[in-house]
Amino acid sequence: MSAAEAATLLGVKRATLYTYVSRGLVRCVPEPGTKENRYVRADLERMKARHDARAGHAAVASGALRWGEPVIDSSVSRVGAAGLAYRGHAAVSLALEGRAFEDVAELLWTGTLPTAPARWEPPEPPPWPTATLAALLPRDTPPIASLSALVALLGAQDAARFAAPPEQEKARARRLLRHLGAWGCVARAPGRVARALEEPTVAASLGHAWGAKGKHAPGLLNRALVLCADHELNVSTFAARVTASSGADLYACLGAALAALSGPKHGGACDRVEALLTEVGRPERAASVVRERLRRGEALTGFGHLLYPDGDPRTPPLLDAALALRPEAPGVRVAKAVLEVVRDAGHPAPSLDFGLVTLSLALGLPAGAAATLFAVGRAAGWVAHVLEQREQGHLLRPRARYVETPRADPRR
């Protein structure tokens, strides 16, 4: 938005707008070919929601649903000035220390980081042949859609899934996450599923399912899973909590979360980053493609995060790993070129989505792998929030503020 539009939206003078920018509350980027700046609409709308939230309870609720004030008490994770923390443990530190995804999941579910490595037994194969599900799915089915179908089928086969005690739910969650790690390839390579289920960890299951080669693959996949494990009340987690509050079983809660994750403004952002890098194609085209997208008014998916005005701390560990592993890989070179163009133009830092896609390119993973990493990792947090919501016991049922719809003029 222009300065005039931004000031009008907030109901302030331009000088006050510039003060917000200097304090880091509103981001701005230079308008190419002029001396003017453009102000990030999402930052402005968030500030307006917070201002409106002071007007009363209805406005508080309305503003809270738009990147506003917190609305649910949770001990699972915290996003703050120091970054992201899982139950008080810095997420980036856990990832860089090489803590296993299974350990981090147990931390999220119990509040305690295991002193000895958590060992999740391989799950029993489903009662249907792998080829049965593969035959129902077109070969180009996105992995997230495959996992959604799998979760529904697993739930239908589990007669004891209703109102299960917490310890049984944790055991069910371990089996479910092991399945998610192995079945993402079912539409394209169903023959890999059985062996992937036998791998010792979720990261190793993903690596086998995707045919990832190299000794570093399991460790880097594990790093990505840990960084994705939870992120407060994101869209998919909120969907899981709302579903859990109704008393639905764990499979239904994760199914709701996967449905929310599939949207292009959430987990589907990884697919949009892949599309951007595919459009660029070669490093020398990065500047022209980025410039043309901005000229058309299109958003650059994969850059900027409202909760991290100084940059998403989860992204550098992924980008650094990708650049160190295979800097010569064509996809990595394209990603690096896009990063440099966007940075030099003064735009926000890359988000987790861009980091996941770049790491997937370095590992030679198939299209859709980044979004799958996001989903499988975030499933640990979904389970934690489902368990917490059940402990809190209340139904999440906000009210709607009725607004009269303007009637069309019959004379027109």
**Pairwise CA distance, residues 403 & 412, whole Å:** 23
CA distance 15 to 260: 40
Stretch 38-45: mean pLDDT = 86
Angle at 29 between CA 27 and CA 35, to 5 degrees: 130
User: Which percentage of the chain shows pLDDT scores above 70?
Assistant: 94
**205-to-145, 162, 221 alpha-carbon distances in Å:** 18, 28, 10
How does pLDDT run across 220-249, given as a tens digit for each residue? 999 999 999 999 999 999 999 999 999 999
Look at residue 68 in the predicted model and tell me its pLDDT: 58
* CA distance readout (Å), 213 to 133, 210, 328, 335: 26, 9, 16, 21
Across the range 182-210, mean pLDDT stands at 95
pLDDT more than 90, % of the chain: 69
Q: pLDDT tier at 353 (50, 70, 90 boundaries)? A: very high
CATH superfamily to which 108-259+372-392 belongs? Citrate Synthase, domain 1 (1.10.580.10)
- 92 touches 83 (CB < 8 A): yes
**Do residues 92 and 103 lie in contact, with contact meaning Cβ atoms separated by under 8 Å?**
no
Confidence of residue 72 (pLDDT cuts 50, 70, 90): confident
- Give the residue from 201, 153, 217, 205 showing the smallest Cα distance to 181: 205
Dihedral of the alpha carbons of 156, 160, 166, 172, in degrees to the nearest 10:
-50
CA distance 49 to 62: 8
The pTM assigned to this predicted structure is 0.84
- Cα distance between residue 68 and residue 41, in whole Å: 14
- The pLDDT tens digits for 365-400 are 999 999 999 999 999 999 999 999 999 999 998 888
* Fold adopted by 269-363: Cytochrome p450-Terp; domain 2 (1.10.230)
Residues 400/296, Cβ–Cβ less than 8 Å: no
The 3-state DSSP class for residue 43 equals helix
Give residue limits of the domains in the chain: 3-64, 108-259+372-392, 269-363
